[in-house]
Every structure is written in C-alpha cells, then in structure tokens.
C-alpha cells in the first residue's frame, strides 16, 4: 500500500469491514493501519494488551524530539446481535448522503478522517508534530489507552494536547462525568423459609443494599451540580442487576448487586462505596450475623472511567475551538478515554464529527457532510501546525 491516497469514505469502508466488536481481536485492523502508515513513511509502535489478542497503535508525524497534538480514536465497536439492520453492518453502505455501518460514527469515522489526512500531514512540514493513537476496548473499559499513556515521556513523546474524536457534532467538550462500576456480593446461609432463624438470607441483604443505593441516589440528585453544565445536573447511582436465590422457599446463600455511579468531576471516586460500606457495617451485618456469624458483604470495583474536568491549561481547548469554529465549550453525557489523558496532566478535549445519538443502534451512520466538515478541521490543523510551533504553557 505504498503511498496510496484513499479518501475518508474509502478508508471508512475498509475500517467498517473489520469486525472489531470488543469481544474480538482488533489485530487485523491494526495491521491495516500500520501498513497504510508505512506506505506514507510513517513508523508506528504497537502497544499490545496482556493477552496478545489486541493492540493499540501510536505514531508520530513530524519532529520526533518534541510533544505534539494527539488525535485519538478507538477501534472497537459494540455488538450488532438482535438489532434490525437494513444492511450488512460490517459492509459500509452509502445512500441518501449517509454512510451506514457499525462504528461509522462511533468512532471509525474519526479514525478514517485521521488516516485520510496522513498524506497532508506528511507534506505539511509540521513545526509541531501530530501523534496518532488508535486504542482498543473503549466500549467495555476505556483501558485500551492506559499502557500507551504510561509510556508518554519515556519511550513515547509526551504530548502537549489531546483531541479525542468521539462524536460531538464538532462541538468542543471539555468535561464529562466519571463512570464507576461495582459488584456487591452478599454471602449468607441457606435454610427453609419456614424458619428463617436457622439461616441468613443473602437476597434480603442485597435488597436492603439496593434500597440504600436508591436512597443515596436521591440525596445526590438533591445536591445538584454547582457548575450548571451537566445533564442530568447531578451524580447518578443506578442498580442494573440483582441476582440470587434458588427457590421461593429457601433462604438464599448468595446474591449479587451490579451497580454504577456516574459522578460529576468533583465527586471523589471512593465516596459512595465508602458510604455503602458504612451502611452495611451499621445496618446489614449486625442484623444478619445474629443468625449466621459468617454473613459477608463485599464490594468490588469492576471498572472506572475517569471524569474529564476542564483543564487549567487552555491549550487543547483554544486549539480545537478555533479549528471547529466554536466560541464555547460543552459537556457530554457519556464517558470517554479523555479522562485518562487528562489524569496524566495533558490538556484534553473531546471533539469529533457526527452524533452520539446514532451510536450503538441499528443502521448507525455518519453523513457525508459531517465527514467533509471533519476533513476541513484536520486540514486547518495541519496548516496551523506548519506555521508555528504549539507549546504547552
């Protein structure tokens, strides 16, 4: 694929053609991107996961002795099973000014735009480099960027700004909530329900825990959001699944509660789990240990997507507002990988073409007009970075 220029639509068709549902390997897609970049003389670094079945890819265009602007996109997509697609989700279909396919908007569209711009980036004579970062597992954990970020400032350049290209309609988002996922497991003792004093029901404990989480959710709703930027304007607590028990007339020996917190950026990550632990210690354990001393409640964090808070360094924000032709920033309701970059001290914003409202659905699409608008932004980025060096404050 030596120096073969492909349009963003052609590249999107190639990318959509790879089944990179998060449960599957993304290595074929990564191989394609690495080969494409090499055709334009751009070397890349693979960052594999611990299984070797997936990898992120990092590349630099321009001067390698300094940090530049990262364009970051994830390569994984959500499943299609059970969705009424009107065309093959893994074959791009263009009709009525729209390009349909799984990942078309979330977010292979952005990845295709970045790759299509590579020849222009290479020819631009960049005074500030452009880094490309293609990750994995964003849809399940947002951890596919973490190993690469750990290498910044060591064997990979430390960037001065990051643009995460999730679909925002090219609005510039500088804040989103965190997502913390938990499993609370309750271990009790089974007995015949006619004499509950001979055991201790794990299901009863789980129900009380779910009720306490609901009570806390109302409390955090009442606290609200002082910034006035988020919708809904408060941290949320949600119980998504309760499981336990084997029969109506048997006290359950095991039960589990799956729950999540979507927190405002100023919510400490351990605050709500700590409050639940205090409730369990005061109200659950004393009650159920009266009949079974081994009654246990354990809460484990299954995953954390860090919040994104507006950076005190305006570099990324100012850059992207100019490129997108916007005069203010926004928040987004969904989580992204941006919080990991921000936690590493790098000014980060979220900005990409298309609407998140079309993501994860049957007949997901991005419009040709949205692709064209994204192309214009990247052309302007190349022009700006070729005229003067962009530096961190």
- pLDDT reported for residue 391: 63
Same domain for 315 and 283: no
| End-of-domain residue from the set 305, 322, 357 | 305
Q: Are residues 298 and 319 in the same domain?
A: no
Q: What is the pLDDT of residue 388?
A: 78
> Are 6 and 107 within 8 A, CB to CB?
no
In a domain? residue 1: no
Paired tokens of 393: 């404050």
Q: Classify residue 208: in a domain, yes or no.
A: yes
pTM for the predicted model, two decimal places: 0.91
Instruction: Identify whether residues 97 and 151 lie together within a single domain.
Output: yes
Are residue 210 and residue 338 in the same domain, yes or no?
no
**Segments of the chain scoring below 70 in pLDDT:** 1-2, 391-393
Burial (Cβ within 10 Å: 0-12, 13-18, ≥19) of residue 255: buried
Tell me, yes or no, whether 366 and 332 share the same domain. Answer: yes
* Separation in Å, CA 43 to CA 1, 26, 40, 46: 14, 19, 9, 10
- Shared domain for 146 and 73, answered yes or no, is yes
Q: What is the pLDDT of residue 320?
A: 97
Q: How far is CA 328 from CA 173, 177, 229, 234, in A?
A: 9, 19, 12, 22
Q: Is residue 275 part of a domain?
A: yes
Choose the final residue of a domain: 253, 287, 305.
305
pLDDT for 356: 97
The total of structural domains in the chain comes to 2
CB within 8 Å of 307: residues ≥ 6 apart: 175, 176, 177, 178, 263, 264, 265, 267, 339
Residue found by looking up tokens 């954390």 in the block = 304
Predicted confidence at residue 3, as pLDDT, reads 75
Q: Which domain holds residue 256?
A: 178-305
Question: Do the Cβ atoms of 167 and 353 come closer than 8 Å?
Answer: yes
For residue 260, being part of any structural domain is answered with yes
Residues 95 and 356 sit within 8 Å (Cβ to Cβ) = no
CATH code, domain with 219: 3.30.70.360
Q: What per-residue confidence (pLDDT) applies to 392?
A: 53
The pLDDT value given to residue 64: 85
| Final residue belonging to a domain, choices 305, 339, 359 | 305
d(CA 92, CA 105): 12
Same domain? For 113 and 235 the reply is no
For residue 108, tell me if it sits in a domain.
yes
């Amino acid at each position: 694929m030596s120096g073969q220029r492909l349009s963003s639509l052609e590249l999107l068709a190639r990318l959509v053609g790879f089944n990179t549902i998060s449960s599957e390997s993304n290595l074929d897609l990564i191989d394609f991107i690495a080969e494409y970049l090499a055709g334009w003389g751009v070397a890349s670094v693979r960052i594999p996961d611990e299984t070797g079945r997936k990898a992120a890819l990092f590349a630099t265009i321009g001067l390698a002795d300094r940090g530049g602007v990262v364009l970051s996109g994830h390569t994984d997509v959500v499943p299609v099973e059970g969705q009424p697609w009107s065309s093959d989700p893994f074959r791009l279909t263009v009709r009525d000014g729209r390009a349909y396919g799984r990942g078309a908007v979330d977010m292979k569209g952005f990845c295709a735009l970045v790759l299509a711009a590579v020849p222009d980036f290479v020819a631009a004579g960049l005074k500030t480099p452009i880094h490309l970062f293609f990750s994995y597992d964003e849809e399940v954990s947002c951890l596919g960027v973490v190993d690469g970020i750990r290498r910044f400032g060591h064997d990979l350049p430390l960037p001065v700004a990051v643009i995460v290209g999730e679909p925002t309609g090219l609005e510039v988002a500088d804040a989103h909530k965190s997502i913390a996922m938990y499993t609370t497991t309750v271990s009790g003792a089974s007995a015949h329900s006619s004499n509950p004093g001979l055991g201790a029901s794990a299901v009863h404990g789980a129900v009380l825990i779910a009720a306490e989480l609901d009570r806390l959710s109302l409390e955090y709703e009442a606290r609200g959001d002082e910034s006035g930027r988020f919708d809904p304007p408060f941290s949320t607590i949600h119980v998504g699944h309760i499981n336990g028990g084997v029969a109506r007339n048997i006290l359950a020996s095991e039960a589990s509660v799956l729950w999540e917190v979507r927190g405002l950026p100023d919510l400490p990550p351990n605050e709500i789990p700590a409050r639940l632990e205090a409730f369990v210690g005061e109200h659950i354990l004393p009650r159920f240990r009266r009949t079974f001393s081994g009654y246990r409640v354990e809460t484990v964090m299954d995953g954390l997507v860090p919040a994104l808070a507006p950076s005190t360094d305006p570099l990324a924000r100012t850059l992207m507002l100019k490129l997108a032709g916007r005069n203010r920033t926004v928040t987004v309701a969904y989580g992204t990988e941006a919080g990991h970059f921000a936690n590493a001290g790098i000014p980060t914003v979220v900005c990409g073409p298309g609407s998140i409202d079309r993501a994860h659905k049957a007949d997901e699409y991005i419009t040709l007009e949205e692709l064209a608008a994204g192309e214009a932004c990247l052309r302007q980025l190349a022009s700006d970075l070729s005229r003067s060096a962009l530096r961190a404050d």
